[in-house]
Structure 1
Amino acid sequence: MTAQQDLASKQCEPCRGGVPPMDRAMAREYLVQVPGWSILDNPDRLEREFRFADFRQAQDFAMRVGDLCEAEGHHAEIRYGWGHCAVAFWTHKINGLHENDFVMAAKVGGLADAPYTAPAESMGDVSPTARG
């Protein structure tokens, strides 16, 4: 089992605050377990940009990340547009990083590695010519 798989197998534990955020040295040790992610500051947070072939794939990924966050009770900042989706994690109650943020980064990395499956066609034709 890789370090990323090990982190991804963990569940987020509720953070009630009152604990200090992870220091940068510890955060860098965890960072090697979540390839592709970076540590940014103000506040300290993990962030990764994912690339896709089009808007629909980026939107679908953002929705899957949102569903995962809701299931884990640990929510991301998600920004997406045509062909890209940026995901950031930090623990708001401590205004910095916690192990939970790395757990979620590993889980989101696993979502990105999964093959893309188009959403159900129940949305109908939304092309500009269909709006006429």
Structure 2
Amino acid sequence: MEELASRNCVPCHGGVPRLIGSEISRFLVEVTDWEVIEDHHLRKTYEFNNFRQALDFVNRVGELAEQQGHHPDFCFGWGKVEITIWTHAIDGLSESDFILAAKIDKL
């Protein structure tokens, strides 16, 4: 399979099935330290030395998200950033969620 980080997110407007079970597992092995929550979304926490580094990371991920047209949720504060990703149009996980996760890990 082509490396996820080298691919681009595909816009989803609904009407496609969510990933389930073995489909999720197939993509999960390609991203590091992301956890699948209730087969619905991906989540990962990144740690930094201070608030500025955390904020800079959020901004870099934001730029990437804009380029990819796929936008995660952020919770951040001093020294940490928690990112949650899912495809809102299908209320669950899609291949693009894993592509974005892989791209974030490359930042």
Q: d(CA) in 1 for partners of 2:82 and 2:64?
A: 15
Q: d(CA) in 2 for partners of 1:64 and 1:33?
A: 21
Q: d(CA) in 1 for partners of 2:71 and 2:61?
A: 9
Q: Determine the structure 2 residue equivalent to 1:50.
A: 46
Displacement of 1:9? 0.5
- For 1:1-132, list aligned pairs within 5 A: 6-41=3-38, 44-111=40-107
Q: Deviations over 1:75-95 (max 9, x none)?
A: 000111000001111000000
Structure 1 residue matching 2:106: 3-state secondary structure: helix
Q: How many residues align?
A: 107
User: What RMSD, in angstroms, separates the aligned Cα atoms of the two structures?
Assistant: 1.4
Give TM-score, length-normalised by structure 2: 0.95
Identity of aligned residues (%): 43
Q: Which structure 1 segments of 5+ residues have no match?
A: 112-132
Structure 2 residue matching 1:97: 3-state secondary structure: coil
Task: For CA contacts below 8 A with separation 6 or more, give which structure has more relative contact order.
Answer: 2
Q: d(CA) in 2 for partners of 1:73 and 1:24?
A: 26
Give TM-score, length-normalised by structure 1: 0.77
